[in-house]
């Protein structure tokens, strides 16, 4: 923790210097214009936020501090020689410090997560025990993370009256604890909702000190297979961060800027992620594929069948989940990485076969509608198929897994934002009369 803290501090200081020089040299340089269409159209592509952890390029996909998805997979450290994919928590180190960690650094971080994860008091599990199991797993997660805010060190220190310059240190402490706690809590929600309604008080939530964060999650939900451990590493690594403007990251940033503690910021992130146009699309996407399978019955799978199914689906006014994006204009490289995983490990899986045919047909159908700016698959298109293949057959749970991973990105953003002392976010809104008068004056 000491080294991570020092390196995070270093990164904050260097970024601060850079920002200071930019503001001093170019105080009034316009960066983006905002038109009437932008204001009523959800501010697509209007630049209003600074997020250094990652940047989304329409034609390239997500760049994690400049590195593409393939570079991350290639360059980040692996737990041992038998692993195909890097340790997911190396992304946390990298986003906070701008440095790819050594495997020794990461093993220490994983141990820290282990120690914090195993310290969840039984009253937290009792809180979860009182939530009816028919409650959507995302609502269970959101309620529990909000409840955890009583553990916030930042909250405690803030009310003791610490200096503004020290906020980030306690936000970092909370961030590490939250990341440690979330996979245990999420695993417990999984077990009691889908596997055994009768478990109580955190039964079976025993972490292993010799495992990384992803493998420990696999263990808690009942898996020790190498392949699923690697799939989870890839899943958690790639869902972690997607710049600052997406709904979940933005919600977390906005809430954090009020100095609400990290647990509440993260609850806000998870609430935004729960929408079907955002993280819940992975749930909807798997349901879409299962429905294709159901409607197909014993008939042979053909392109004609998929085409008709997709067109009928669109004609009911629904969006096809897993396709389209507000910023991207290519197939999402995270989709490509998940697809590679599936085609390497289980190309004959029936859902994979349907997905592959959908991938050939759906972008063409969507392209026929000129208002759809990106007809290609996004991250949510393939992720459910990976989980389903390994027996995680509950689509309602998939967004929880997205949220586990997203904790890495939004918590890194929060630490850096407080380190850089970004102020309360407070954009200006106007009424229609004002908009009308501005338009008429121009
Ligand atoms: N199926 C049908 N219609 C779609 C579509 C899809 N997959 N993607 C976009 N469209 C429609 C939009 O609904 C919009 O229609 P209206 O003008 O009638 O409202 C029109 O095409 C223009 O949309 P756009 O500018 O191309 O895309 P947006 O930035 O407005 O929306 C997104 C982006 C992701 C919400 C949209 O593509 C969508 O709803 N996709 C399906 C849901 C999904 O997969 N979401 C997950 C995104 C990734 C994530 O955040 O996790």
- Domain-by-domain residue ranges, the chain? 1-30+49-426
What's the length of the chain?
Answer: 442
Q: Please choose from 45, 248, 319 the residue to mutate so as to test ligand 1's pocket, defined by most ligand atoms within 8 A of CB.
A: 319
> Which of 29, 15, 371, 397 is CA-nearest to residue 188?
397
Q: How far is ligand 1, taken at its centre, from the CA of residue 110, in Å?
A: 37
Atom 48 in ligand 1: which residue has the minimum CA distance? 278
So what's the architecture of 1-30+49-426 in CATH?
Answer: Orthogonal Bundle (1.10)
Q: What is the ipTM of this complex?
A: 0.98
Q: Identify whether 312 is a catalytic site residue.
A: no
| Integer CA distances (angstroms), 216 to 154, 343, 418, in order | 27, 25, 30
How far does residue 278's CA lie from ligand 1's centre (Å)? 10
Looking at residue 300, what DSSP letter applies?
Answer: P
Residue of 154, 168, 10, 8 lying closest to 93 (CA atoms): 8
Strand partners, 64: 54, 67
- Chain centroid to Cα 433, Å, comes to 38
CB-count exposure of residue 134 (10 Å: 0-12, 13-18, 19+): exposed
What's residue 331's pLDDT? 97
Index of the ligand 1 atom closest to the CA of residue 379: 48
Q: Is the CB of 377 under 6 A from ligand 1?
A: no
Instruction: Give the integer Cα–Cα distance in Å for 304 and 16.
Output: 57
Ligand 1 contacts CB of residue 218 (under 6 A) = no
Q: What is the pLDDT of residue 191?
A: 97
323 lines ligand 1 (CB under 6 A): yes
Q: Express each pLDDT in 149-195 by its tens digit.
A: 999 999 999 999 999 999 999 999 999 999 999 999 999 999 999 99
Ligand 1 pocket, residue 282 CB under 6 Å: no
Which protein residue's CA is at the shortest distance from atom 40 of ligand 1? 324
**Is there a contact between 145 and 267 (Cβ–Cβ < 8 Å)?**
yes
User: pLDDT digit of tens for each residue in the chain (442 aa)?
Assistant: 899 999 999 999 999 999 999 999 999 999 999 999 999 999 988 999 999 999 999 999 999 999 999 999 999 999 999 999 999 999 999 999 999 999 999 999 999 999 999 999 999 999 999 999 999 999 999 999 999 999 999 999 999 999 999 999 999 999 999 999 999 999 999 999 999 999 999 999 999 999 999 999 999 999 999 999 999 999 999 999 999 999 999 999 999 999 999 999 999 999 999 999 999 999 999 999 999 999 999 999 999 999 999 999 999 999 999 999 999 999 999 999 999 999 999 999 999 999 999 999 999 999 999 999 999 999 999 999 999 999 999 999 999 999 999 999 999 999 999 999 999 999 999 999 999 999 999 8
Residue nearest to atom 23 of ligand 1 (CA): 372
Counting atoms of ligand 1 from 1, which one is nearest the CA of 285?
A: 44
Mutate to test the pocket of ligand 1, among 323, 324, 326, 405 (most ligand atoms within 8 A of CB): 324
Dist. CA 46–CA 34, nearest whole Å: 6
Rg (alpha carbons) of the chain, rounded to whole number: 22
């Amino acid at each position: 923790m000491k080294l991570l803290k020092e390196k995070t501090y270093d990164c904050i200081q260097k970024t601060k210097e850079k920002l200071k020089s930019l503001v001093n040299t170019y105080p009034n340089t316009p960066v983006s214009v905002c038109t009437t269409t932008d204001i009523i159209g959800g501010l697509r592509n209007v630049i209003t936020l600074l997020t250094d952890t990652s940047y989304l390029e329409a034609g390239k996909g997500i760049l994690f501090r400049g590195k593409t998805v393939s570079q991350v997979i290639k360059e980040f450290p692996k737990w041992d020689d038998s692993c195909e994919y890097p340790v997911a928590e190396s992304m946390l180190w990298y986003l906070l410090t701008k440095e790819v960690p050594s495997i020794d650094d990461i093993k220490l971080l994983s141990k820290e997560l282990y120690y914090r994860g195993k310290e969840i008091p039984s009253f937290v599990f009792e809180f979860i025990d009182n939530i009816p199991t028919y409650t959507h797993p995302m609502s269970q997660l959101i309620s529990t993370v909000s409840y955890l805010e009583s553990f916030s060190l930042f909250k405690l220190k803030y009310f003791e009256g610490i200096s503004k310059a020290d906020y980030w240190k306690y936000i970092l402490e909370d961030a590490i604890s939250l990341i440690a706690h979330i996979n245990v809590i999420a695993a417990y929600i999984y077990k009691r909702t889908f596997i055994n309604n009768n478990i109580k008080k955190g039964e079976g939530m025993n972490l292993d000190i010799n495992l990384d964060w992803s493998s420990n999650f696999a263990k808690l939900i009942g898996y020790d297979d190498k392949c699923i451990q690697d799939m989870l590493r890839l899943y958690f690594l790639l869902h972690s961060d997607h710049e600052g403007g997406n709904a979940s990251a933005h919600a977390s940033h906005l809430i954090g800027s009020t100095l609400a503690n990290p647990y509440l910021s993260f609850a806000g992130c998870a609430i935004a992620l729960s929408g079907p146009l955002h993280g819940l699309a992975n749930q909807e996407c798997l349901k879409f594929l299962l429905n294709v399978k159901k409607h197909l019955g014993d008939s042979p799978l053909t392109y004609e069948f998929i085409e008709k199914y997709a067109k009928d689906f669109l004609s009911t006014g629904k969006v096809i989940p897993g396709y389209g994006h507000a910023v991207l204009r290519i197939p999402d490289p995270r989709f490509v990485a998940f697809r590679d995983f599936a085609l390497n490990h289980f190309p004959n899986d029936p859902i994979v076969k349907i997905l592959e045919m959908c991938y050939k047909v759906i972008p063409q159908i969507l392209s026929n509608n000129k208002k759809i700016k990106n007809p290609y698959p996004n991250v949510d298109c393939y992720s459910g198929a990976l989980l389903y293949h390994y027996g995680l057959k509950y689509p309602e749970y998939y967004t929880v897994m997205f949220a586990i991973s997203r904790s890495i990105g939004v918590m890194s953003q929060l630490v850096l934002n407080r380190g850089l002392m970004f102020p309360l976010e407070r954009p200006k809104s106007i009424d229609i009369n004002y908009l009308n008068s501005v338009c008429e004056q121009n």
